[in-house]
Structure 1
Amino acid sequence: MAARIYQIPKSAMQSGKAKIDTWVLEFEQSEARTADPLMGWTGSGDTQAQVQLKFESKEAAKAYAEKHGIAARVHATPPKSLKLQAYADNFR
């Protein structure tokens, strides 16, 4: 049972910094998704893929994974880079 731990990124519609400190432990899929022949929806018998556990810190998520014997990989948060641009640059 493998899992990944990552930090929730800000959405494109979010300008504030609320809920960006939340870390998520999410289980990886153990079986492939299949298409339902009648409805055409995709589904799977793997219920672990639907589970998302949220934690206050990366250390808390790691401790939970170690306590329950879950092989978890931590995905680092990419560095934030701001492109500072003045309004006058649009007319150059």
Structure 2
Amino acid sequence: MVARIYSPSKTAMQSGTAKTNNWVLEFNPQAPKSIDPLMGYTSSSDMKQQIKLKFSTKEEAVAYATRKQITYRVDEESTRKHRRTVYSDNFRFDRLSPWTH
């Protein structure tokens, strides 16, 4: 039973950084998912897949996993590189690429 501790990244559908400040502890699947032969639904007998615990800091998540004797793996938070662009740069004379229209 190995848990993964990570900070979720923002989704492609959001422009802000909501729900990315927390750290999440979730368990890796222990049993593979199976397909029901009659209906075709995907199911699993592993109930720990449904557990998602949220913490405000990474240290709290690590302390919880240590206290409950859960082996864990920490995926470090990747920083976003934001390149600032200015609209007036589109009209500069020393552009690297010329206008195409």
**Amino acid of the residue matched to residue 56 of structure 1?**
S
Aligned to 2:28: 28
Report 1:8-87 matches (<5 A). 8-87=8-87
Task: Give the RMSD, CA atoms, in angstroms.
Answer: 2.0
**Structure 2: stretches of 5+ with no match in the other structure:** 91-96
Aligned to 2:94: none
SS of the aligned residue for 1:10 comes to coil
Q: TM-score, normalised by structure 1?
A: 0.87
Quote how far apart the aligned CAs of 1:11 are: 1.3
Higher RCO (C-alpha under 8 Å, 6+ residues apart)? 1
The 1:32–1:74 alpha-carbon spacing in structure 2 relative to 1, beyond 3 Å, is same
Quote how far apart the aligned CAs of 1:80 are: 1.0
Q: TM-score, normalised by structure 2?
A: 0.80
**Amino acid of the residue matched to residue 5 of structure 2?**
I
